[in-house]
A and B are shown apart, each in its own frame.
Chain A
Amino acid sequence: MTASPELDAAPVRQLSIEELDRLRAIVGEDNLLTTRAETFTYECDAITHLRQRPVAVALPRSTAELAAVVRYLADIDCAFVARGAGTGLSGGAIPPAGGVVVETARMRRVLEVDRWNRTARVECGVTNAAVSTAARPHGLFYAPDPSSQVACTIGGNVAENSGGPHCFKYGATARHVLGMTAVLPDGEIIEIGSAVGDPIGLDLTGILVGSEGTCAIVTEVLVRLTPTPSCVETLLSSWPDVEAACAAVKAVIEDGLEPSAMEILDQLTIEAVEASVFAAGYPKDAGAVLLVEYDGGAEEVGDGADRTEELCRKLGSISLERARDATHRLRLWKGRKGAFGAMGRLAPDLYVQDAVVPRSRLPDVLRRVVEIGREHQIRLSNVFHAGDGNLHPNVSYDRRDADETARVILAGKAILQACVDAGGSLSGEHGIGVEKRDYMHFVFDEPDLAKMRAVRDAFNPRSLLNPGKVLPSTRSCVEAKAGALFFDDPDHAAGDDEHGEHGDTDAPRASTEAL
């Protein structure tokens, strides 16, 4: 959470009745939302404290319609943003001031599954899980698995280069996207990539994956499918503290083992999980639990699990449990998958931080993160993709408490700085969006950012598509370096509650689906 929800200056304009009618004529009467009640949901993504109301939401039904919408918006100089399921956790889908949201919910067709060449072509609004569902009868699956996979869309995954627990073995989205159809900010439709080989020339697919919806809107994606592993083994070990669990992760990696996932939950998370509907039977007296999973052929999986068990015992794990069957495995994962939902028990709001560090530095960095929590007197829990060095320090707080909110923001910044100081970076999977835009100078210097801007501007020369995201303006860089960032106004943030969107009292206000 940074602080500055302020977006870069974009061409702000209100749409006239005639202009809205033109958009309606493109997408159809039912596919243009304009009233406050209709557009309310689109004010933010899963970072709910940063909001801006769109003037309209268009729901095109095809690439051609989407391109026509974009072409028209470009013609009238109206800024716009593409949105999938709105599960993003960096504010990437917040509309520009006076802008239009182009939502992909109507583009949900799985166009083709080529079992034998192991590819699928899907529209951008297809959910991540639906791709695997379509592939499953063919003995295949789509490997990236963000925890929001039931809701989040492939288009959003491409924009964010999404990961998930199993990208430790399989890699994030970039490794699984072979090509795409996309719409440039002037409405031009482009076809890029290939099912075989690399096309000659610059890798346009490679640069669009992870560009956070600031270069083009992807409308169809050609993805690589992976054979479903024949065997899976899941181990749960418990440890006196997080550092000990991290040391086990380090030992597994240094031993040359290659699990498909390695996840750690700390004591506060275990307590929250075990008191919730997501109870998985984790030992409540443990300082941390470590979930390790292997998948593949029976032999490699068995060897990996045996060796991991041996290492855990040698390093002093308190207890060790190996899933006997699929039901048992699902139970062990239930606590991990439900961890963020369970946090709602701790406080009304949850701030999910996301940072990465070298795996060899995990124990040191975790120690420092815990210290920062203490120094700032905040309730900090950790549940994270340990195998990738991808931390998710979570702060449970109440944003109506201005003093606590200010401490949360300062702690978040201190955690990011500690990660960067250890050779890490700002985000492992949530992206920069607007949330961390003004912290980019922690990692990159102005010449680095200038080249990134140049690439973005080659795609998006007029900044009509998703302005003000990812890259700080030169001005905000200077301000951030001078410590001149201003914080959210907690009074203003507290006002969000009046909308009553959080019916489930057990769920914290920040949606955590996208983890």
Chain B
Amino acid sequence: MTRGAGDTSAGQTQVRSRRVPANDEYREVLASPPMFVVRPGDAAECAAILKAATHEGRRVLAYGAGRHQRAHGVPSADVVMETGDLTGIVDHDVGDQTITVLAGTSLAEVSGAARAARQWLPIDPTGADDATIGGVVSAGVAGPLRTGYGPARDHLLGTEAAYADGEIARSGGRLVKNVTGFDLHRLQHGAHGTLAVLTRLHLRLRPLPDVDRTLVARLDGPGLDRFHAAWRATGANAAAVSAVSKASSLREGVREFEVLVRLMGSARAVDAADGLARSALGELAELAEGEHSASRWRQLVQMWTPPAGGVTLRVTALPMDGPRSRLGEICAAMEDVVGRHTDTDTDSVFGLALEPMAGVVRAMFASPPPIAIVSALLARAELSGVATEDGPVAFRLQVDPRAGGIQVPALQARLKHALDPRGTLSPGRFPFPAVVPTGAS
């Protein structure tokens, strides 16, 4: 495999590879163990491996730090392609506030380089310390900062990627504004490596805000709704807003939410927003500034990842019904569904985490809940989408076919087929149907 039988370009490439031990570390990601693990040293090697794999009919899963591999479907792969040797900052144009990095570079390394120039990349997904930038973009994940700064897609200016046919292709560029050509990099965001393996990314950085402050209040359900509506009405901007339930069992009902508002900017701007936030929150339980503020949010996103064997379900819903917040109603619907499907004495749910502005509610279960919960959640009109964000293979194999309907499946299949005709990359990740040729006349 590593020499790509019968293929010249792959044959010239010496790629580090190893046989996978029987009890391998990928069992939480893949339905069955891969045959090989390879670590290409550059984009050319990456492309050569893909070409050889396609030629041999082998399936490949690109793998960064593995932080977001347990979401959306269960890929089946013969070869795991680790991006651990595709690391480093290629160029940081401080004056332009742009940076070019190899895909396997950790978010922490990118953040460190940015911070040294008083800049930052406002992305804070789970596993932020060692998550790779390629993985974060491929998985299309975003943390609480999405509220104020948008998803990773909004900071992505361009990519270089290796395709299943062994070609390396670019789109976009290291420019903050650019409409030259089709933005394939936007298509790669959230594609979970089903179209290509990202090898290099161009990103936009932002000036590091002078002040980072987090206000925390403890509110009951109606209090959360009142805060949410009041904060919306101010029109003020927060970097992030989140609510976390401390309840250990939804069966008992959520009694209290910890509501966090993160304000970033100049001292005077933060002070002004601080006043508005306090009036919406009421009495504060806690105030964190600077590094304490940042670490408060790192703790919060860690909670989104369940303990080993646990499950995170991500539910989306329109957060407002006119001037009224729907958060309480959404939580009640979830409590109702979970309550009906779990045993009274099973403390399987350990929390709810809400991104009120985005209409996202995460339910974290300490152990996999009954599958019927997913169908029941989907049946609730209040909720517009359900997906697994984290969970064991066995659970995802059962749940995602029910929850993971994709929009316009035939078109998505044609796109997949256009870029990866033999299904080399991440098969099983999304439910692409078989391609039915259309239009050819």
Which A residues have a C-beta under 8 Å from some C-beta of B?
A: 77, 114, 116-117, 139, 160-161, 163, 167, 171-172, 174-175, 184-186, 190-204, 206-207, 209-211, 227-228, 230, 250, 253-254, 256-258, 296-300, 302-304, 356-361, 385, 388-390, 423-432, 436, 440, 443-445, 447-452, 454-459, 461-462, 470-471
Contacts and interface: CB of A to CB of B under 8 A. Distances in A.
27 contacts: A172-B177, A190-B411, A194-B384, A197-B385, A200-B387, A204-B408, A206-B187, A207-B182, A209-B186, A210-B179, A257-B207, A258-B207, A296-B269, A299-B269, A356-B177, A359-B97, A389-B175, A390-B177, A424-B175, A426-B180, A428-B175, A448-B171, A449-B181, A451-B171, A455-B182, A462-B441, A470-B181
Contact of B183 (A207, A296, A456): A207
Given A297-B269, A300-B265, A450-B167, A461 B182 contact: no
Contacts of B97: 253, 359
A175 B179 contact: no
Contact of A297 (B163, B167, B187, B236): B236
A452 B185 CA distance: 11
B178 A425 contact: yes
Given A253-B96, A254-B95, A427-B179, 12 more contacts: A185-B439, A186-B439, A192-B408, A194-B384, A197-B384, A203-B153, A203-B187, A207-B184, A297-B236, A297-B273, A427-B178, A458-B414
Question: Chain B interface secondary structure, helix, strand, loop or mixed?
Answer: loop
B39 interface: no
A455 B187 contact: yes
Interface stretch (B50-58, B300-308, B319-327): B319-327
B44 interface: no
Nearest to B73: A200
Contacts, number: 266
Contacts of A199: 385, 406-407
Nearest to A463: B439
A360 B319 CA distance: 41
Nearest to B416: A202
A192 B407 contact: yes
B381 to A, nearest CB: 14
A427 B182 CA distance: 12
A452 B319 contact: no
B373 interface: no
Nearest to A211: B182
Interface string B14-29: 0000000000000000
B170 interface: yes
Interface stretch (B62-70, B188-196, B286-294): B188-196
Contact of B439 (A195, A250, A462): A462
Contacts of B168: 447
Contact of A457 (B153, B411, B418, B430): B418
Nearest to A11: B441
B358 interface: yes
B278 interface: no
Contact of A299 (B271, B318, B409): B271
A160 B404 contact: no
- Contact size class for B? 35 or more
Contact of B441 (A77, A204, A429, A454): A77
Given A197-B316, A257-B207, A202 B191 contact: yes
B219 to A, nearest CB: 20
B328 interface: no
Interface in B380-432: 384-385, 387, 404-409, 411-412, 414-419, 430
A198 B318 contact: no
A196 B358 contact: yes
A200 B405 contact: yes
Most A Cβ at <10 Å: residue of B186, B384, B407: B407
A372 B123 CA distance: 41
Contacts of B179: 160-161, 163, 172, 210, 427-432
Interface of B: 72, 93-98, 118-119, 140, 150-151, 153-154, 163, 167-171, 173-184, 186-187, 189-191, 194-195, 206-208, 232, 235-237, 265-266, 268-269, 271-273, 314, 316-323, 358-360, 384-385, 387, 404-409, 411-412, 414-419, 430, 438-441
B406 to A, nearest CB: 3
A461 B265 contact: no
Contacts of B118: 256
Contacts of B408: 190-192, 204
A116 B175 contact: no
Given A254-B94, A447-B168, A389 B177 contact: yes
B189 A206 contact: yes
Nearest to A201: B406
A461 B342 CA distance: 50
Nearest to B209: A256
B154 A175 contact: yes
Contacts of B153: 203, 206
B184 A452 contact: yes
A227 B415 contact: no
Given A358-B175, A458-B417, A299 B170 contact: no
B169 A448 contact: yes
B356 to A, nearest CB: 11
A198 B182 contact: no
Given A116-B232, A116-B320, A171-B154, A360 B180 contact: no
A200 B406 contact: yes
Contact of B169 (A77, A228, A451): A451
A303 B267 CA distance: 10
Given A184-B411, A196-B358, A200-B387, A461 B438 contact: yes
Nearest to A196: B359
Contacts of A447: 167-169
Contacts of A257: 207
